Chains A and B, each alone.
Chain A
């Protein structure tokens, strides 16, 4: 992902952006996505809205999701219009995102 900043500062890749965030990743996937349900979703609200960019469309029309670098914000379950597509819980105590300077 590149930014249109006219070369004012070094463009930062999405990977580098996420590497500024600390995650103490738990073993349990606290969010799961049922890719079969996503198969008939044409609006794909989660793809543009998830600030961590964790919803990746696959070539077979589904969604690939990885819970590991998640802000636990709630945006995805709020914008998704399909019942049953997203199962959302908090990570187990002490796991997940750890903010430092925000």
Chain B
């Protein structure tokens, strides 16, 4: 396959001699985490192999998606002049819906449409490819179309490299960084993960819908390269999860994130759930006429802090989605920035460990320290109860009924009846939705502690 992408070393040449197949570090996976780790290490002068099982970096990667690239300020100053984006997000809406109602909080900021920006929609095959090109420019050896199939160990059981699916494809190094995403077979083989619990994962499914650029700008009320991010609670046909709708330049991304056990325990298929979301009266006028140009799916590690593996062992570190560092807490769905930050921290730590000659778990201890000092673990620690709250039955099913019910009654003019007091509406709608005061108070407290 195409291992001829710019900067790629053909593996057959690489492994002709043992020394050519020997690196300081092997980075498994050229997603956002792996490319950032490889860039840091290559710039520090180390010999880095960056393995990617796809024909090119990004070929296997799908997401919502909006990228928040500010973490790249250090690694790639003025990144916004180069990153292949679709639209800069200047309008962000959070929508709560039931079958017939929708309540939206809609925010706009012109500041988000100017450097250094806030978030941008981008296609991952474009973005990940660009980010990997930066690693190659820094001197990393990108090996495309190469799947790591296991770890190599010496007689003392020390990790000494990675076995790939290429003929003669063993690669040697004193340190391996697992940046292999949510399925994380490398970290699993190293024994870092606890037993798999499907309740910690969601399936993301999405349609990319083509529409003329002018139609998108008219429907979503934006101009130039500005764009809109809509996060949706309650639009997933009763399956715990969430919906999303984003604007690209001449396509829309519409999809759903679905909790695995909830999805598997009912009868509506993922693409039907997207179909119903698209047919909702609040969404249909926005997506109407859009032709599906790509259907895609990927799994998300959803449970945050509570599912994170051990992050380091002797001669191996785990980053990004492979370490469940994706932040999926309802109003936020961020993983690319967490992956990039953890990849950079892993790269810095390994560079330090190689300089001191100690890549044991102790020598790599700076990794977790760096993550604690950054947003990666700070956000996850603070929000550790948020994923459970957001995916709970009450937040998923009862609160949307209650909240939209309250707002409907507030704005409904029932003349000749006089307006009811807000307190009465709240009490009646809470009862109608079957919400107990005790649960409401507890959820409010968890929400306040997490988001406050």
Query: Contact: B260 with A3, CB < 8 Å?
Result: no
Q: Is A21 an interface residue (CB 8 A)?
A: yes
Q: Is B62 an interface residue (CB 8 A)?
A: yes
Interface size class, chain B: 35 or more
The verdict on A75 contacting B203 (CB below 8 Å), with A49-B260, A94-B2 known, is: yes
Residue count of chain A within 8 Å CB distance of chain B: 44
Interchain CB contact (< 8 A) of B296 among A1, A5, A12, A102: A102
Of A31-39, A56-64, A66-74, the one touching chain B: A66-74
Contacts of B1 in A (CB 8 A): 24, 93-95
The verdict on A101 contacting B294 (CB below 8 Å), with A3-B272, A24-B55, A79-B198 known, is: yes
Q: Is A85 an interface residue (CB 8 A)?
A: no
Interface string of A70-102 (1 = CB under 8 A from B): 011111001100000000011111111111111
Q: Is B267 an interface residue (CB 8 A)?
A: yes
The verdict on A92 contacting B292 (CB below 8 Å), with A3-B279, A51-B297, A71-B297 known, is: no
Closest to A5 in B: B279
Closest to A51 in B: B297
The distance in angstroms between the C-alpha atoms of A52 and B295, with both chains bound, is 9
Interchain CB contact (< 8 A) of B299 among A17, A73, A97, A102: A73
Interchain CB contact (< 8 A) of A51 among B123, B165, B270: B270
Consensus secondary structure, chain A interface = loop
The verdict on A99 contacting B58 (CB below 8 Å), with A74-B183, A90-B53, A93-B165 known, is: yes
Query: Contact: B165 with A1, CB < 8 Å?
Result: no
Q: Is A42 an interface residue (CB 8 A)?
A: no
Closest to B181 in A: A74
Q: Is B435 an interface residue (CB 8 A)?
A: no
Interchain CB contact (< 8 A) of A6 among B54, B203, B260, B279: B279
Interchain CB contact (< 8 A) of A99 among B253, B266, B288, B296: B296
Q: Quote the shortest CB–CB distance from A48 to chain B (angstroms).
A: 6
Contacts of A45 in B (CB 8 A): 264-265
The residue in A16, A20, A49, A97 that gathers the most chain B C-beta atoms within 10 A of its C-beta is A49
Give me the 9 closest cross-chain CB pairs, A-B, nearest first: A94-B1, A94-B145, A3-B275, A45-B264, A51-B297, A93-B145, A102-B296, A79-B264, A5-B279
Residue numbers of B with Cβ under 8 A of A are 1-3, 53-55, 58-63, 65, 123-125, 144-147, 149, 164-166, 182-183, 185, 196, 198, 201, 203, 205-206, 208, 248, 251, 253, 260-261, 263-272, 275-276, 278-279, 284, 288-299
